[in-house]
Amino acid sequence: MTRTPLDRIALVLVIIGALNWLSVGLFQYDVVANIFGGASTLGSRIVYSIVGLGGLFALSLLFRSAEDVRE
């Protein structure tokens, strides 16, 4: 099954989000919040929103058949 560029971007965003949550769960360390100066700063909220949108888009990958993405 081939992936479109948007599929790949969404998957990368989901992986980034998952790794951030892993660091929160294991080490109580939020990488995004640390980079942008806190979880409630505008930069962090933008990153969280982009990752969340990528996750929502990635849900569509579960319901696509292999024929839908072939070119």
- Quick: pLDDT tens for 5-51: 999 999 999 999 999 999 999 999 999 999 999 999 999 999 999 99
At residue 63, does pLDDT exceed 90? no
Question: Measuring CA to CA, how many Å separate 50 from each of 9, 44, 47, 55?
Answer: 11, 10, 5, 9
> Which H or E run includes 56?
helix 42-62
Exposed, middle or buried: residue 50 (CB in 10 Å: 0-12, 13-18, 19+)? middle
Region of 70 (left: φ > 0; alpha: ψ -120 to 50; beta: rest) is beta
Q: What range defines the domain where residue 43 resides?
A: 5-69
| Contact status, residue 38 vs residue 44, Cβ threshold 8 Å | yes
- What's the structural domain count of the chain? 1
